[in-house]
């Protein structure tokens, strides 16, 4: 059933677990995620980036997500890293049930001003808003932030009070994409604990993909050239959940699974050109990855 981000995150905050927020760009990815959530009896957040909306179209993604939400688990449809205020308005109007306004690239006061405005629009419709303070590293299609600026706890408290946001994405050393660390993974989990103790509100971790070595090996075996990718180890995610993270974003792991499965199929069956045969193994592998992460986040059985 379709529910709001706020409902999902308030329950997770009370129950001390995290809900997976997975990026969708097409039907197969959405199906993989909802099958995983249904198998694990877990709430789930389907999120669309501005790039996903530009690629697939708003109405296609809305229909796919609402169809997925017919499963008997709570599903929120969330805008990921919304920066374009016109698009934010359109998503609120079109039936998205959660909005992330990302003003992390703006000076503090401007971020406050815009986030507050978006929170007012969303609250008027009974929806919650996720905001971001500090900068998460790495690159997405439309967002590049090379330098990580860790979230300051005093600023986070002031920001949450002034904006009335419902969830806060913080920067503790994670990066978007497959290349998160050079050398050992370094996350400031102590900073996360401090911020959670002071704010008590749902906290969000972006750039949290695990980049499993076996998946990278499979993709590489069938021709992918990925260099030296590095993700956040499962143990650090488990600690982050125990310190109060309630929403964990994952996209890169789904991309890797898609790539690994499609490459394997095309290599092993060069004579088969049926898109359904090509995409079904990718859907299955993404489901496997999502189920693993749902268990890691502690949201299995919380539907």
Catalytic residues: 80
Considering only residues 222 to 251 of the shown chain, the ones binding ligand G3H according to CB under 6 A are 251
User: Is there a contact between 155 and 108 (Cβ–Cβ < 8 Å)?
Assistant: yes
Place of tokens 């197969």: 28
How many residues at the interface with ligand 13P, by CB under 6 A? Answer: 13
Q: Which of 9, 52, 92, 215 binds ligand G3H (CB under 6 A)?
A: 52
**Chain position carrying tokens 């909802």:** 34
Q: Does 233 bind ligand 13P (CB under 6 A)?
A: no
- Distance CA(56)–CA(294), nearest Å, equals 26
Q: Which of 141, 197, 235, 272 binds ligand G3H (CB under 6 A)?
A: 141
* Residue 264 binds to Zn ion (criterion: CB under 5 A): no
Q: Which stretch binds ligand 13P (CB under 6 A): 53-61, 90-98, 115-123, 247-255?
A: 247-255
Take residue 68 and report the two structure tokens written for it: 């997925």
DSSP 223: T
| 163 near ligand 13P, rule: CB under 6 A | no
Q: Closer CB to ligand 13P, residue 13 or residue 25?
A: 25
Q: Which residue from 114, 236, 250, 287 is in contact with ligand 13P, where contact means CB under 6 A?
A: 250
22 vs 265, which CB is nearer to ligand G3H? 22
**252 is an interface residue for ligand 13P by CB under 6 A:** yes
The rounded distance, in Å, linking the Cα atoms of 264 and 31 is 20
> From the list ligand 13P, Zn ion, ligand G3H, none, which binds 209 (C-beta under 5 to 8 Å, kind-based)?
ligand 13P
**Of residues 136, 69, 60, 55, the one with CA closest to residue 97:** 69
Applying CB under 6 A, does 97 fall inside the site for ligand 13P?
no
Find which of ligand G3H, ligand 13P, Zn ion, none residue 4 binds, CB within 5 to 8 Å per kind. Answer: none
- Residues 181 and 229: their CA atoms lie apart, in Å, by 8
Residue 207 engages ligand 13P in binding (rule: CB under 6 A): yes
Distances (CA, A) of 258 to 13, 35, 278: 31, 16, 10
Separation CA 67–CA 292 (nearest Å): 23
H-state helical runs in 200-251: 213-221, 234-242
User: Residue 72: which of Zn ion, ligand G3H, ligand 13P, none does it interact with, CB under 5 to 8 A by kind?
Assistant: none
Strand boundaries in the chain, DSSP class E: 19-23, 44-49, 75-82, 98-101, 128-133, 138-139, 144-145, 167-170, 203-205, 245-250
Q: Is 23 in the site for ligand G3H (CB under 6 A)?
A: yes
Which residues, 193 to 212, sit near Zn ion by CB under 5 A?
Answer: 206
Positions in the binding site for ligand G3H (CB under 6 A): 23, 49, 51-52, 80-81, 140-142, 176, 251
Positions in the binding site for Zn ion (CB under 5 A): 206, 249
């Amino acid at each position: 059933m379709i529910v709001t981000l706020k409902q999902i995150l308030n329950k997770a905050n009370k129950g001390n677990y995290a809900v997976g927020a997975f990026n969708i760009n097409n039907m197969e990815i959405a199906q993989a995620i909802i099958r995983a959530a249904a198998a694990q009896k877990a709430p789930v957040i389907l999120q669309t980036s501005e790039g996903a909306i530009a690629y697939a179209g708003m109405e296609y993604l809305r229909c796919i997500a609402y169809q997925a939400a017919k499963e008997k688990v709570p599903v929120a449809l969330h805008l990921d890293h919304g920066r374009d205020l016109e698009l934010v308005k359109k998503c609120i109007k079109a039936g998205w049930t959660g909005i992330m306004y990302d003003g992390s690239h703006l000076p503090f006061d401007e971020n406050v001003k815009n986030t507050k405005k978006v929170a007012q629009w969303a609250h008027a419709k009974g929806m919650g808003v996720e905001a971001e303070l500090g900068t998460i590293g790495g690159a997405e299609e439309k967002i590049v932030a090379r330098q990580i600026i860790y979230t300051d706890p005093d600023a986070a408290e002031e920001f949450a009070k002034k904006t009335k946001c419902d969830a806060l994405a913080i920067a503790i050393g994670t990066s978007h994409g497959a290349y998160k660390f050079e050398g050992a993974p370094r996350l400031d989990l102590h900073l996360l604990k401090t911020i959670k103790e002071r704010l008590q509100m749902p906290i969000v971790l972006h750039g949290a993909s695990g980049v499993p070595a076996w998946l990278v090996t499979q993709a590489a075996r069938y021709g992918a050239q990925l260099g030296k990718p590095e993700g956040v180890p499962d143990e650090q995610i488990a600690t982050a959940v125990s310190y109060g993270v309630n929403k964990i974003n994952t996209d890169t792991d789904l991309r890797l699974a898609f790539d690994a499965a499609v490459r394997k199929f095309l290599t092993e069956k060069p004579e088969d050109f049926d898109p359904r045969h090509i995409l079904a193994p990718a859907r299955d592998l993404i489901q496997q990855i999502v189920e693993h992460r749902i268990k890691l986040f502690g949201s299995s059985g919380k539907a």
